[in-house]
Amino acid sequence: MNEEKLKIIYTALDSLDNNPLFKGMWKYVVNSGERIEISLYIRDTSLKYTVEARRELRLQQLPRLMVNTDIKNSIIIADRIYPDVKEQLVANSIAYIEGNGNVFIPQKELYIWVDTNKSKANIKHSSGRAFTKTGLKVLFHFLLNEALLNMPYRQIAELTQTSPGNITNIMNSLRELNFLSTDSEGKLKLNNKKQMLDKWIDQYEHELKPAIEIGTFRFEAEGDYQNWRRTPLETKKTLWGGEPAGHLMTGLLKPRTLTIYSLENRNDLVNNYRMVRDPDGYIKVYRKFWNYDGRQGTIAPAILVYADLLHTGDVKNLEAADRIFDDVIKPALG
């Protein structure tokens, strides 16, 4: 296992050689078996880190790293670090080196940040129709209830508010990506669910979420912000997501941003919940895009809450996301 990690580390360190900032850099790697440490001597400054080496680092992997009490003394070294992950590492002053030579070293005596090199894996691989805006909506329904896969395409189309032709294309795409197969009884089933969920979360933030944004608000009365749990959301129409849902599911959070998914329009939100439009407000409202809940209450599905929390990058939110994954999502994935 350490041999693979050492290869990743040496590749990343070698990628710095062509950068004039690291001219004359001296590097030393110590592999004790249990952990790997590196010492760097750069521009008259000595640095020592414990290494977290990964083939790639996605947002979903951050929670367990962020709760590491020694993370500030560690450096992430990976062949590829996804852009949203790098944003969170920078925001939390966590050092990293990417296999293409991108690097972040946030030391008082030496601050280096390079993020201009293209990813070695920056070749566009087609995700087909499964991860378009429409595909993400349909796939979300399958993640909520896998039994929907075996409904007639026309019924799936009605439930997800798309066309039967789109369902055909999405199913074909899932097969091509090895996320869909047929079991011994001829029933359709999802494959590689964790990998599929990771991809869904990545694409949701960038593809679908911006398209379903309704607006940013605040409560007319400041007291309603402090007592947000008393807000009488209309069940099935309007649901808590993000931090408020994370609080209700885990008890770990004190929400600052109130995320809401709703079928109500702006006027309904203003009239029903005493909200005021405010571009700098603390309430973020998105259009509810699913028609299957399988449950009662005013909390969005756990997968969506998990995705919302991950993309904030906040350490407490990441801890709550990790709890939700372990307690709710992981058992459901099977």
CATH number, domain 128-191, options 2.60.40.60, 1.25.40.80, 1.10.10.10, 3.10.129.10: 1.10.10.10
pLDDT value at position 123?
A: 38
pLDDT value at residue 82: 87
The correct CATH number of 2-114 out of 2.70.98, 3.40.50, 3.90.1750, 3.40.1350 is 3.40.1350
Tokens of 22: 């690291």
pLDDT band at 320 (very low <50, low <70, confident <90, very high): very high
Domain ranges of the chain: 2-114, 128-191, 212-333
Q: Tell me: pLDDT of 122 over 50.
A: no
Q: What is the CA radius of gyration of the chain?
A: 23
Question: What value does the mean pLDDT take over residues 268-293?
Answer: 93
Query: How confident is the model over 196-217, as a mean pLDDT?
Result: 92
- What are the distances in angstroms from CA 78 to CA 23, 67, 101? 22, 19, 10
Q: What is the pTM of this model?
A: 0.77
Query: Taking 50 as the threshold, does the pLDDT of residue 65 lie above it?
Result: yes
Q: Return the amino acid letter for 199.
A: K
Looking at the predicted structure, is the pLDDT value of residue 281 above 80?
Answer: yes
Residue 124 has what pLDDT? 43
Is residue 117 scored above 90 in pLDDT? no
Is 94 a residue whose pLDDT tops 50?
Answer: yes
Determine the pLDDT at residue 297: 85
Split at pLDDT 50, 70, 90, the class of 261 is very high
Q: Kindly state the average pLDDT of the residues 14-22.
A: 84
What 3-state class would DSSP assign to 54? strand
Q: Which residue has the higher pLDDT, 319 or 134?
A: 134
Question: What's the confidence (pLDDT) of residue 131?
Answer: 93
For residues 80 and 58, the answer to whether their CB atoms sit within 8 Å is: no
What is the distance between the alpha carbons of residues 290 and 287, in angstroms, rounded to a whole number? 9
Name the residue with higher pLDDT: 32 or 76. 76
Where do we find the tokens 């309007």? Answer: 238
Q: What is the mean pLDDT of residues 217-223?
A: 95
Answer whether residue 49 shows pLDDT above 50. yes
Which range (28-32, 111-115, 165-169, 186-190) has the least confidence? 28-32
Flag whether pLDDT at 84 surpasses 90: no
Q: What is the mean pLDDT of residues 309-331?
A: 89
Give pLDDT, residue 32. Answer: 75
Query: How high is the pLDDT of residue 315?
Result: 79
Residues 6+ apart with CB under 8 A from 316: 252, 253
End-to-end CA distance of the chain: 26
As given in the structure block, the two tokens for residue 243 are: 């931090």
Is the CB of residue 269 less than 8 Å from the CB of residue 216? Answer: no
Nearest CA-CA partner of 90 in 102, 101, 106: 106
